[in-house]
Chains A and B, each alone.
Chain A
Amino acid sequence: MKRFALPLTAALLAATSLTALPAAAQTVLSLDEVPVGELDPGKASDYADSLLMFNVYDTLVLPAQGEPGYSPHLAESWEIDGNDFVVTLRQDVTFQSGNAMTAEDVVFSYDRIKALGQGLSFLFANVTGIEAVDDHTVRFSLDEPYSPFIASLVRLPIVDKQLVMDNLAEGDDEMGDWGEAFLSDNGAGTGAYVVVSHNPQEETVMEKNPDYFLGVPDAAPDTVRLRYGLEAATVRTLIAQNEHDISSQWLPPEVLRSLAGTGAQLLQETGGGAFYVKLNTTKAPLDDVNCRRALVSAFDYEAALQMVAITDEAAQGSPSTGAIPVGMFGANPADQILTRDMDAAREYLEACEYDPADFTLELSWIAEVPIEERFALLMQSNFSELGFNAQIQRVPWAMFTDLVTNPETTPHVSQIFVNAVTGDPDTLLYPMYHSSVAGTWQSPEYLDDAEVDELLERGRTAMTDEERDEAYSALNARLMDLAATIYGYDRQSIFAASNRVNVPALSSPEYAFGVDGMGFSFRLMEMTAE
């Protein structure tokens, strides 16, 4: 053993000392997200996908910073022509390949996203046609007035048609695989960052695009390393060692609290979403509106918020005021927060036709989201005060999406987090409450209410902000009255970060975007130290 001990020790010491070399003189931003990182913009739907999409690709419009509305990006301007939207493109944009961006690329990008039918392609369900009017003008034809259309363009990344066509693989139709194989591994956008390497479960490395049409500031990170699937303990240690810059939003509150306690900054993103407790309106006793109202009143909103509090100033949620998150069309004022009212709960229960003792409520929580178990326990305690027995069920996400396709297998109570993917209330509310879309993970209430349907339609067809606000205010009131959902809290994403990076879009409300993931536009970040 003695013979091995010395060489082994020497090798280990050499190994550790050899690694302790000065880093290269480039600024490197290191962050993490949950796997997988889907690089193909036509399939992007998760948070990691959005981070990749918003940096490798550009869209025609961007959400305005610090205020509602949208501003042109690859587009120079747009105008509404009846049901159509006519977009004029900038003429100074080139792809990372060097190809010039034209209207043909926009048409191709739209056709591709529709053909793949994945990711967020459902946002363009109302588009009946698209036409390249000339090299720099595109006409989108819609089947009816649809005011959230401009918001939807935030999720239409423009792809380099020529590059994709040069790399088509075999597939089912005349366009082969529509570049699926190529775009799963390579970037083909105009974005501020170029993909250097990509492994969807391990890491994506990106570098500044020196030819970006808006230029990338010197202070922005030279290289970005987006890692997938780091454990909380690992992230905790890496940030403490100054080897990691921004955590994912999925760290448990206690880890975020601990990091904040050791000097890490907390970044915050409000993307127009909330924590929803969905009540199955087809299943007794929750098919009685008064029973639902009793549960809604008995829920301890304050305790739920305490569970996601990180520091005195930061929490993963803010008080809910109703069915629509604060800041969106139709939302109630921020000071009208929902509170627990047991007297009201008992009154509603008296009006309910069922005896709670006759039922055992199924309280489900998604196995991959541990915080939901705590909410389930909270509800079990809250509802037991009304005499309801409740059985907590741990349901893996894969099983949950299956269960909710049938009202009979849908649990009495389901917990989900939903965000408006474009920042517009239509993309948040329509998939949850319109009777035509019941039975998805977003709509396990199986709500079927003509007034709600009518208000949802009005919200998406009204063309002025005032009309939309009025429609969504009425919808908010109606949804509260129907009590099909417990609106737990408005969601805020919190990220722990080292002090080597400044992220104005995630630090100051005046620079914030209203769309999830957009705050991670690396070109707008500043590295403060090498």
Chain B
Amino acid sequence: MSPVLRLLAKRLVTSMIVLIGVSMLIFSIARVIPGDPARIALGPNATAEQVENLRERLHLNEPLPVQYGHFVADLARGDLGISLYTNRPVTRDIAQFLPATLELIFVAGLMMIVIGLPLGALSARYRHTWADNTIRMVSLLGVSAPAFVWAVILMLLFAYFLPIFPIAGRIANMHVVPSITGFLLVDTLVAGNLRAFGSAVSHIVLPAFALALSGIGQAARLTRSNMVETYDRPYIEMAQAYGFPERRIARRYAFRPSMIPSMTIIGLDFAAMLGNAFLVEAVFAWPGLSRYGVAAILRKDLNAIVGTVLCISALFLIVNIIVDLITAYINPRIRHSQRA
């Protein structure tokens, strides 16, 4: 078996164990949050009898292990139950809200890579100059303020004072795009509707940038510090002594090894955004899974809580596996360690 496949197999097994643990944990936690889910679901005017009937239907009067057994049996059939909040199957809600969040964090992740890494490289390449200082200051700003603060600031700047970007939803109301993948950037292109694509792009710019800013700052700072460290290595000095062009030294000998920790952090940030996107989704009325998950927790929507957390955990694990594989590809030492 090739080292990469071996790594993949190891990660898949540990991920499955983690996922089972998460399911047990979240299943238990969801049931000990104060408040009767049946009472909340039926509304304040429901009678005690109606509440009791729903409790029976949800198996809430049975011991926790028995309830978990029912949950696993349903899950095996692909059934996560009905959301007490939206009154629809949780799988349907997740299928509807997940693509919006994935699209948002994918674009945000892309921004982190496309903007953060080059900024860090530039900063290291021109260290201790005004360019370096400016980039470091901007990076620090990005890291130090939470995403929702940036969301409101960006909204004020680019929607209120300079009305350039729209601020609510995923696409202008005038466009009707058939849903194929759920990713509007893709669906609009598949439909050949460039106008709708433009609308989808303009709608995603601000929320994605607000979400990415912290990651951009982090990636830039990390890349800079790693590259600065790398620049002090003897092989860089040797390359300079041989008269290699500065651009080549920066790109091939300084930047590539510095990417490894940055990629790991970006990967973690990318996965963490799944859960952290809530406030940005709220500010930009982005119909995503994070907002749905938080609403589910506030309303003690048991099935939706478990479904959302499991979904986010699974995606988190998948992203981590991908990051591990990329890191293994970039860093031969990791690849070769799997041979042992």
Contacts and interface: CB of A to CB of B under 8 A. Distances in A.
Interface in B49-103: 50, 85-88, 93, 96-97
Interface string B145-163: 0000000100110011001
14 contacts: A12-B202, A24-B174, A43-B43, A43-B87, A201-B86, A201-B97, A203-B287, A225-B173, A229-B291, A234-B155, A234-B168, A398-B34, A398-B35, A401-B40
A170 interface: no
Interface stretch (A211-219, A237-245, A372-380): A237-245
Nearest to B35: A398
B160 A237 contact: yes
A16 B291 CA distance: 26
B40 A23 contact: no
Interface in A222-261: 225, 227, 229-231, 233-234, 237-238, 240-241, 243
A200 B83 CA distance: 11
A435 to B, nearest CB: 16
A1 interface: yes
A69 interface: no
Interface of B: 33-36, 39-40, 42-47, 50, 85-88, 93, 96-97, 114, 118, 122, 152, 155-156, 159-160, 163-169, 172-174, 194-195, 197-199, 201-202, 205, 282-285, 287, 291-292, 295, 298-300
B285 A227 contact: yes
A229 B195 contact: no
Q: Give 8 nearest A-B pairs by CB, closest first.
A: A398-B35, A18-B198, A15-B201, A399-B34, A15-B198, A202-B287, A15-B202, A19-B199
A448 to B, nearest CB: 18
Interface stretch (A32-40, A187-195, A496-504): A32-40
A86 interface: no
Nearest to A240: B160
A230 B168 contact: yes
Given A180-B87, A202-B287, 11 more contacts: A18-B199, A45-B45, A122-B45, A225-B173, A229-B291, A234-B155, A234-B283, A234-B284, A398-B40, A399-B34, A401-B36
Contacts of A35: 295
A202 B156 CA distance: 23
B160 A199 contact: no
B41 to A, nearest CB: 9
A401 B201 contact: no
A199 B152 CA distance: 26
A147 B44 CA distance: 24
B50 A19 contact: no
Contact of A398 (B160, B205, B298): B298
A35 B294 CA distance: 12
Contacts, number: 144
Nearest to B41: A118
Contacts of A36: 85-86
A205 to B, nearest CB: 8
Q: Name, among A4, A11, A36, A231, the residue most crowded by chain B CB atoms within 10 Å (CB to CB).
A: A231
Interface residues of A, number: 57
Nearest to A12: B205
B287 A199 contact: yes
B166 to A, nearest CB: 7
B298 A396 contact: yes
Nearest to A32: B285
A68 interface: no
A23 B87 CA distance: 34
B167 A117 contact: no
A401 B96 CA distance: 31
A368 interface: yes
A120 interface: yes
B298 A199 contact: no
Nearest to A39: B87
Contacts of B300: 398
A14 B205 CA distance: 13
A183 to B, nearest CB: 10
A442 interface: yes
Interface string A1-39: 100100000011011111101011000100000011010
Contact of A28 (B163, B166, B173): B173
Q: Name, among A43, A117, A203, the residue most crowded by chain B CB atoms within 10 Å (CB to CB).
A: A117
Nearest to A236: B160
Contacts of A19: 166, 172, 195, 198-199, 202
A154 to B, nearest CB: 16
B285 A23 contact: no
Contacts of B118: 1
A31 B253 CA distance: 56
Contacts of A229: 282, 285, 291, 295
Interface string A93-132: 0000000000000000000000001111110000000000
Contacts of A396: 34-35, 298
Interface string A62-80: 0000000000000000000
A156 to B, nearest CB: 15
A441 interface: yes
Contact of A200 (B33, B88, B152, B174): B88
Contact of A117 (B46, B97, B298): B46
Contacts of B46: 117-118
Nearest to B89: A181
A117 B47 contact: yes
A1 B173 CA distance: 34
Nearest to A46: B43
Interface string A417-435: 0000000000000010000
A401 B168 contact: no
Nearest to A44: B43
A185 B35 CA distance: 28
Given A21-B195, A230-B168, A401 B39 contact: yes
Contacts of A12: 201-202, 205
A38 B87 contact: yes
A481 B44 CA distance: 28
A504 B256 CA distance: 67
Contacts of A11: 201
A144 interface: no
A402 interface: yes
Contacts of A225: 173
Contacts of B298: 368, 396, 398
Contacts of B33: 398
Contact of A45 (B43, B87, B202): B43
A499 to B, nearest CB: 18
A387 to B, nearest CB: 32
Given A120-B45, A238-B167, A233 B155 contact: yes
